[in-house]
Amino acid sequence: MKNLDDILNMAKNVQDELTKAQANLDKIEVEGASGGGLVKVRATAKGRIIAVDIDDSLLQPSEKQMLEDLVAAAFNDARAKADAASSQEMGKMTSGLPLPPGFKLPF
């Protein structure tokens, strides 16, 4: 049963590394922007929103619809960057593992 013990130890190591990588995702920050930087959203690679910054020039009632669109675009930009950072970080963790092609973590 040596092989089974090796497999179980390897699975435990993978789980430990996955837990560490996921915890690290909340420490990696990305910034999404729209309107040429007039609206910025900071988020973690895990997708938690940290801050929203809106340029004062957009704080006019006549600009309400544009501001709403820019905030949504900045959130989407931050989310895309968070997803990319997350994929990159998880890729580092799985790069040395003998996983079959197309196998995705977490399970």
Helices (H) and strands (E) in the chain, counts: 2, 3
pTM of the model: 0.64
100 in a structural domain: no
From CA 44, how far away is CA 79, in angstroms rounded? 9
Residue 12 lies in a domain: yes
Q: Could you tell me if residue 105 is inside a domain? A: no
Residue 101 lies in a domain: no
In a domain, 99, yes or no: no
**Residue 15's domain is classified under what CATH number?**
3.30.1310.10
Provide the pLDDT confidence category of residue 41 given band limits of 50, 70 and 90.
very high
Residue 68 counted as domain residue = yes
**Could you tell me the residue range of the domain that residue 17 belongs to?**
2-94
User: pLDDT digit string (tens) for 44-69?
Assistant: 888 889 999 999 998 999 989 999 99
